[in-house]
Amino acid sequence: MRLRILTLNAWALPWPLADEPNARMDAIGERLGSLDADVVAFQEVWSPPARRRLLEAGRRAGYDQVWSQPGSVGSSGMLVLSRLPIRESHFIRFSLCGFPQDVTRGDYYGGKGIAIVTLDTAEGPVALLSTHLIPHYGDYGPDDTYMGHRIAEVVELADALSRIEIPAIVVGDFNFTEREPEYEVLMGLSGLTDVAAALEWREVTIVPGPPYRANESPPGVRIDYVFARDGVERAVVPQSIDRVLDETIEIEGRPAGYSDHAGLLAEVSFGGRRPVRTPPSAEAVARAAKFLREGRADAERRRQDQLGLAAGGGVVALAAVGSASIVPMSRRKLLRAALIGLPAIALASSAGVGWLADRAVVQELAGYDEVEQLLEGIGRARGGDISEVGSRWAPAATRGESRGAES
């Protein structure tokens, strides 16, 4: 038996955040039948009208099994359509996925995570995992404040896979390339096979050129993937993979595309060789621990900076209120009210911003706690001690100091 899997970041945000979302979803829907996948995994289906269009098109193409979450905010943006029966499904929301103050980016409010559906096939159950990791919004380096969050998401994905004994296919928009550390950590923790790499086919999925990526730099990258992992009893054998839904089309007389990503259509088979389950590598556990420690330390620094800024604003506001209180009575009442009222507003604002910032970082630190525990479990599964492996990458005191600052 062979299984055909289609994955696409559909870029289905409401206009004006995305161009022609409804017309593009209709165009994608018209292609579903000819692509003839057994299961389709969409990411970034944030718009309810776009979701309805894909669902209707899916039903017309024979996809009568569906996984999704309703709404837009907090809905994960993911949609799974299947011609095979879905035996069961569940969703794991990421513990760390952006900051609440980054409203324009929206990752914190999107509800991103991992959708896990178990498909009934003629040769037994197969797990499909679809996900969408947080972007880095710029170059990697010291200013990449999202590295800790992406590594945390990789750890949560590896942990979810470690609990699955049947063959697994993992797809989605991972927002990292094969050359970057998140890829190495994921492969080392999970034992996944990159289907495109195994077949020596490494086509970019962010395709430069008209209409949506004309000024893209660098000129094309591969950040969407189909991964596979053997089950305990059955192997997953990559057979083919192709880039699809990457053509320039026309919408209302203008050049357009199906999305700002290309889709991937992969085919795998089961059996034919002895299954291989690779245990987590010591290096991957150590690298993940290092990045999580750095992310935690960055969160602690932001917490102290934000609280210091809020406290400084409060002192200034109190001083202004004190100055206003000794204004001579001969001044106009309106001026006096302004001099007293505006600093009071500033005081309240500083206190409010400080409180919200503190709450956000406390939640972030709790997220790091959860993910570090998962990584410790992965480290124990390989028969090692995470504290020993991690010490090769950072001083042992770093972890204890950040926990002490949190308490």
Give residue 330's pLDDT: 52
Give residue 141's pLDDT: 58
Q: Which residues, in sequence order, are CB contacts of 13 under 8 Å at separation 6+?
A: 21, 44, 46, 47
Lowest average pLDDT, out of 207-216, 234-243, 349-358, goes to: 349-358
The answer, yes or no, to whether residue 281 has pLDDT greater than 90, is: yes
Give residue 347's pLDDT: 46
C-alpha to C-alpha distance for 162 and 383, rounded to whole angstroms:
14
**Whole-prediction pTM value?**
0.83
Tens digits of residue pLDDT in 53-105: 999 999 999 999 999 988 777 789 999 999 999 999 999 999 999 998 888 88
3-state secondary structure of 361: helix
Give residue 282's pLDDT: 95
Q: Which residues, in sequence order, are CB contacts of 169 under 8 Å at separation 6+?
A: 3, 5, 126, 127, 128, 129, 226, 227, 228, 236, 268
Tens digits of residue pLDDT in 292-322: 999 999 999 988 876 655 555 444 444 444 4
How many CB atoms lie under 10 A from the CB of residue 352?
11
Q: Which residues, in sequence order, are CB contacts of 280 under 8 Å at separation 6+?
A: 158, 188, 189, 190, 191, 378, 379, 381, 382
Q: 283, exposed or middle or buried, with CB in 10 Å at 0-12, 13-18, 19+?
A: middle
Tens digits of residue pLDDT in 381-400: 865 444 433 333 232 332 23
| Confidence label for 230 from pLDDT (cuts 50, 70 and 90) | very high
Give residue 388's pLDDT: 39
The answer, yes or no, to whether residue 194 has pLDDT greater than 70, is: yes
Q: Go through the domains of the chain in sequence order and give each one's CATH number.
A: 2-270 (3.60.10.10), 282-406 (no CATH)
Tens digits of residue pLDDT in 332-379: 454 445 544 544 444 444 445 555 667 889 999 999 999 999 999 999
| Confidence label for 14 from pLDDT (cuts 50, 70 and 90) | confident
